[in-house]
Amino acid sequence: MVGTMKPLLIGMNNPLSLQPGHELYPAPEGCTGHRLWRMLNARTGASRAQYLDSFERRNLVRHVTFNATIARMNADDITRELFGTGRIVILLGQDVRRAFNIPPLLIHPQIIGGCTWRQLPHPSGRNLWYNEPENLRVAELLMEELYVNYHNVEKVQ
């Protein structure tokens, strides 16, 4: 039984596919969606299908390159859509956070417009933040928290 709405993961763009449903998709290996799934899997054992079922996934821009102007316009639309819904929103990276005009969060939640906003550094292969084991563990713990709260299950010890 699912107790709440799916957490919403918001990324930049998918340079590999413009197809709807491929936002933060957990394939191919090494892409952002795959890295997010691996963080979730490390703590919960969740399958790719469980990752896909447990998170709403969006990108700010549907293009092979990221455009900050389009991202800001789309972020404004999403902000209006989410206002007062109580959703949990995770912004992936500084560019996404800036598009929403939200101050730096780095994982710590902030309530804005009736939603809980959080941020992770962008989980691309180019972001060295995740090379530090303690940083990776923090991200894994956040993914686990979002997953167990959505599914209303016990956390791994």
| Cα gap 84→7, rounded to integer Å | 15
What is the average pLDDT across 37-59? 97
User: Which pLDDT score is estimated for 106?
Assistant: 63
User: Which pLDDT score is estimated for 154?
Assistant: 66
Residues 6+ apart with CB under 8 A from 126: none
User: Which pLDDT score is estimated for 107?
Assistant: 65
- Domains of the chain and any CATH numbers: 8-151 (3.40.470.10)
Q: Which amino acid is at 10?
A: I
Query: Tell me: the pLDDT tens digits for 15-45?
Result: 888 888 899 999 999 999 999 999 999 999 9
| Cα gap 128→121, rounded to integer Å | 10
What is the average pLDDT across 74-81? 97
User: Which pLDDT score is estimated for 1?
Assistant: 36
User: Which pLDDT score is estimated for 125?
Assistant: 85
Helices 133-151 and 32-44: crossing angle, nearest 10°?
80
Contact call for residues 9 and 36 (beta carbons, < 8 A): yes
Contact call for residues 85 and 114 (beta carbons, < 8 A): yes
Query: Tell me: the pLDDT tens digits for 91-142?
Result: 999 999 999 999 887 667 999 999 999 999 999 888 999 999 999 999 999 9
User: Which pLDDT score is estimated for 2?
Assistant: 42
User: Which pLDDT score is estimated for 42?
Assistant: 97
pLDDT at 155 over 80: no
